[in-house]
Amino acid sequence: MKEYVMGNGAIALGALKAGVNIACGYPGTPSSEIIETLAKRPHEGLHLEWSVNEKAALEVAAAAAYSGARALVTMKQVGLNVASDPLMSLAYVGVEGGMVIVSADDPGPISSQTEQDTRRFADFARIPVFDPASPEEAFEMIQDAFAYSEKYKTPVIFRPTTRVDHGYASVEASDTYVPKAYDGFQKDAGRFVIFPRLSYKNHGRMEERNVRIGEDFSSYKFNTVEGAASEKAVLASGISYMYAKEFLKDHPEVKLIRVATAYPLPESFLLKALDGVREVLCIEELSPYLEEQLLKLAGKHHLSVTVLGKLTSHVPAMGENSADGVAAILRDYLNISADPAVNDTTDLPELPVRPPVLCAGCPHRASFYAVKKAMAGEKTYYCGDIGCYTLGNSMPLDMVDTCLCMGAGVTMAQGFSHIDGDGKAFAFIGDSTFFASGITGVVNAVFNEADITICILDNSTTAMTGHQPHPGTGINLMGHDAGKISITKILEGIGLQKVVTVDPLDLDKAIATVKECAAIKGVKAIIFKSPCIAIEKSKKKCTVTESCINCKKCIRETGCPALTLADGKVVIDALLCTGCGLCRQVCPVNAIGGDEE
């Protein structure tokens, strides 16, 4: 039965068809829907979990793969950094059951801190990487990835990019899936207990194995050559291959080489594909990985071929590719004039800039505002983190001075406290991020006697990536009530000077709480607890009354998108307003009526 699904859904269905036994992950755009699709499908015999972070997910899955089970791990590209410690060792140890690590890259970036390229990570870890070009391919290719993993007893990386993850296509779906049968863990300390001498031996085996995998990949069905023999060729991978193929369908005289397995490089395939080619243009996203590999290949085999791409400025060094962008690149490369029949859009005005903002009624806005008012006139450092609340940097709040990576807000605040005893250092971190990577930072703060105030923005969900559960919500992905893990008890157990919970929408109390905590030396925590407005819908609305003096303080200080101007007068958009009441508490003349159903 054909089913129209998102690329991430296709990956999930392919894993089910491959007989996956366990799937672990940490939510991160553009990968989140893989685990969610698995959870919505019949999955008897399949263990599913949103792990506390990517490192935990990989380690849980590793034990399953040691036992002969097929294991799937999902994350976005920066999550692979978190999982890199077990990954590097696992590459040396190997696996019994197939193990596929999905690391979704984010060219642009659209929703990430970096434009890092997972293909380089595969090369670094010395494990194979698969690079699908479409949702249909992803469905098939992930099944191949499990097979290759078991054949060579190595974890493999599966590297879709955003447009593959979020594109849609029809794939062959089923109502029933049978997990793979496996024998269970066979104890072998000489293999599974990693020691330097074992790593030395396994390093040699890895390098020898990768030569064989490269040869195997040279006949892999998704490494292809299309078009006629020509002195000019195009080499592409991933979604860029689809863009190039679309343009070159009208130019069959140009050879199109597609590499779906960037590491280990399919050298024999490429040597044959490049026979007679004098110039090749590499079209790929993120880094010039394949371009560099071709340059090495040409040097190694003394090929007389000119390699063009990002390194020669023929392809943009950053950002994601598009069909129009690749078409323009290929027209320049092949000296083809633009089609006059195609609409010229050069004179059209640019689209308006619409920066992301916190939702109307978001409790994080009230939390930031309370800290801002409490600390007015003080020298402060505001260290943010990864989540919806990163948007606290937007004007008029302007409450995020730094944002580096998950969990860094807590630890960077400590650095500021140690080098500037006169400033007040604050760390903002969400409830999900606290569990993922914040706890160790809190321990570090107490042990090393920092003077910081930790603001935990507890909205009872993992909001930014689609409202996934976390240890503080209680219900796990298997649907079991595991009990809510108390953030308060964790902080008290670590030994903080003070831990207090306050509703950020009670503005006066929130401001007083911030002032009280900031005055205490040592490590303190304020848990700003109020549910995300997307999971607790309200019918309440606020309205502007006739006593409004049009001072616009509500707009100027909160930045709530429900507050706007109509004919120069402040109005509240009833479609956006959630009746949170923050604007009512900010108004100096009590001109905002409130909270009516």
Q: How many CB atoms lie within 10 A of CB 430?
A: 28
Contact 539, 509 (CB under 8 A): no
Contact 287, 119 (CB under 8 A): yes
Predicted local distance difference test score (pLDDT) of residue 340: 67
Percent of the chain clearing pLDDT 90 (strictly above): 81
What's the pLDDT band for 356 if we cut at 50, 70, 90?
confident
Start and end residues for every CATH 3.30.70.20 domain found in the chain: 541-596
**Where would I find the H helices in 126-237?**
135-152, 162-166, 189-192, 196-217
Place of tokens 């392919």: 14
> Given 3.30.565.10, 3.40.50.970, 3.40.50.300, 3.40.50.1360, which CATH number is that of 363-529?
3.40.50.970
pLDDT tens digits, one per residue of 269-295: 999 999 999 999 999 999 999 999 999
What's the pLDDT band for 536 if we cut at 50, 70, 90?
confident
What's the pLDDT band for 470 if we cut at 50, 70, 90?
confident
What's the pLDDT band for 529 if we cut at 50, 70, 90?
very high
| Average pLDDT of span 53-81 | 96
Q: Which CATH class is domain 224-334?
A: alpha beta
pLDDT tens digits, one per residue of 579-594: 999 999 999 999 998 6
Query: What DSSP assignment string belongs to 399-439?
Result: --SB--STTHHHHHHHHHHHH-TTSEEEEEEEHHHIIIIIH
For the chain, report the end-to-end CA distance as a whole number of angstroms: 47
Maximum distance among all Cα pairs of the chain, rounded to whole angstroms: 82
> Given 1.10.3210.10, 3.40.980.10, 3.30.300.30, 3.40.50.970, which CATH number is that of 2-217?
3.40.50.970
Domain 541-596 has CATH 3.40.1400.10: no
Contact 356, 393 (CB under 8 A): no
What's the pLDDT band for 43 if we cut at 50, 70, 90?
confident
What's the pLDDT band for 334 if we cut at 50, 70, 90?
very high
The mean pLDDT of the chain is 93
Predicted local distance difference test score (pLDDT) of residue 175: 80
d(CA 145, CA 101): 10
Start and end residues for every CATH 3.40.50.920 domain found in the chain: 224-334
Start and end residues for every CATH 3.40.50.970 domain found in the chain: 2-217, 363-529
Bigger pLDDT: 313 vs 540? 313
Sheet with 224-226, side-by-side order of all strands:
224-226, 255-258, 232-236, 279-283, 306-308
- Is the pLDDT at 142 greater than 90? The verdict is yes
Q: Which residues does 108 contact at the CB level (< 8 Å), separation at least 6?
A: 115, 162, 319, 320
d(CA 395, CA 546): 28
**What interhelical angle do 33-40 and 7-17 show, nearest 10?**
50
* Amino acid (one-letter) located at 246: E
What's the pLDDT band for 341 if we cut at 50, 70, 90?
low
Predicted local distance difference test score (pLDDT) of residue 128: 98
d(CA 381, CA 404): 14
- Is the pLDDT at 595 greater than 70? The verdict is no
Predicted local distance difference test score (pLDDT) of residue 479: 83
Strand ranges in 237-316 using DSSP code E only, listed in sequence order: 255-258, 279-283, 306-308
Percent of the chain clearing pLDDT 70 (strictly above): 98
